[in-house]
Amino acid sequence: MTIRLASAPVSWGIYEFKDIEPKYPYGRVLDEIAETGYTGIELGPWGYLPTDPAVLRDELGARGLQLLSSFVPVRFADAADIAAQEAHALKVGRLLASQGAVAIVLADDNGTVPDLVQWAGWRGGSALSPAEWDVYAAGVNRVARTVHDETGLSIVFHHHCAGYVETPEETRALMERTDPDLVGLCLDTGHWHYAGGDAVQCIREYGERVRYLHFKDCDPAIKAKAWAEHLPYFPATALGLFCELGRGEVDFPAIVGEMNALGYDGWAVVEQDVFVDDLDAPKQSSRRNREYLQGIGL
């Protein structure tokens, strides 16, 4: 079985958060992803890459890149808005399907609830009651079913810091309430560790329900500082919390071994959330991340 490697615009500081403006034209990001050794890519925030299917196909094809998925934040906690959110997810899903993508990555509308931003990483418990979890999970099942039935895409959910589904406990609450045949787990190794988990143990718990991977590392010294000082999510990230692969606490060789034992035949998207002023730094980090993974056999 094979783990193939992709990258994503987020490694160039291209975020879905509305108050963070892109520093790069999309052409440069696509060029640098291809130049540093990756063959797959995620879409990034809606509207960053072209949304015309023919234009997008030409831009990716010129660089030998395969579009795999898109990270799609949805306000699942707001049942009154789920129809509009579902329509947006379906719009994204149709574009993905037109490019032969493999999955859509659903997530909470992370970073929009001040308390969750303030407490990200070091909080415990859950901000949702059992009844609110039921509403949340019903929304995930609904959007997943609609997108899957309309597009044929695989559906995975991405736990994420500064959202309602952040910790291993919260991820478990959602996974227990969603259709296991329909909704898989996108394991983001860096977010899992920052929220107090261990990615290897996550794979052992969920097995083949881990259907998509985000490879991200987590600097233990910065994590300890952020926890000790109760730093909010964005300042912690700006300190370099999600460091280059192999420089943090995530055991990537063990993760690869666990996924290979499951017979995983799919993609791992390399991500390094950055806030940098040096416009050349993301490309250099991307290259070093690729070299690290090559060194462990990928």
pLDDT score of 161: 96
Percentage above 90 pLDDT, the chain: 92
Confidence of residue 123 (pLDDT cuts 50, 70, 90): confident
Average pLDDT, whole number, for the chain? 95
- Taking 70 as the threshold, does the pLDDT of residue 90 lie above it? yes
Look at residue 19 and tell me whether its pLDDT is greater than 80: no
Q: Is residue 166 within 8 Å of residue 111, measured between CB atoms?
A: no
Question: Tell me, what DSSP letter sits at residue 9?
Answer: G
Helices 26-35, 53-61: crossing angle, 10 deg rounding: 40
Average pLDDT over residues 87-108: 98
β-bridge mates for residue 230, sequence order: none
Phi, psi torsion values for 296, nearest 5 degrees: -105, 15
Mean pLDDT check: name the lowest of 11-25, 111-125, 247-261.
11-25
pLDDT of residue 276: 75
pLDDT(50) > 70: yes
Structure confidence at residue 21 (pLDDT): 76
Spatial distance between the Cα atoms of 284 and 60, rounded to a whole number of angstroms = 21
Q: pLDDT above 70 covers what percent of the chain?
A: 99
Dihedral sign from CA coordinates of 59, 65, 70, 71: negative
Residue 158: per-residue pLDDT? 98
pLDDT for the residue numbered 145: 98
Identify the CATH assignment for 3-295 out of 3.20.20.150, 3.40.47.10, 3.40.640.10, 3.30.750.210.
3.20.20.150
161-197 pLDDT, tens digit per residue, is 999 999 999 999 999 999 999 999 999 999 999 999 9
- For the chain, the domains span 3-295
Q: Got the DSSP string for 237-266?
A: HHTTSS--TTSSS--HHHHHHHHHHTT--E
Among candidates 142, 39, 45, 155, which has minimal Cα distance to 97?
Answer: 155
Structure confidence at residue 187 (pLDDT): 98
Residue 1: what pLDDT? 59
pLDDT of residue 23: 84
The token duo for 68 is 């795999």
pLDDT one-digit tens code per residue, 258-286: 999 999 999 999 999 877 788 899 999 99
Beta strands, E only, the chain: 3-7, 40-42, 66-69, 71-74, 103-108, 154-158, 183-188, 210-215, 266-270
pLDDT value of position 122? 83
Distance between CA atoms of 274 and 211, rounded to whole angstroms? 25
pLDDT (mean) for 71-87? 95
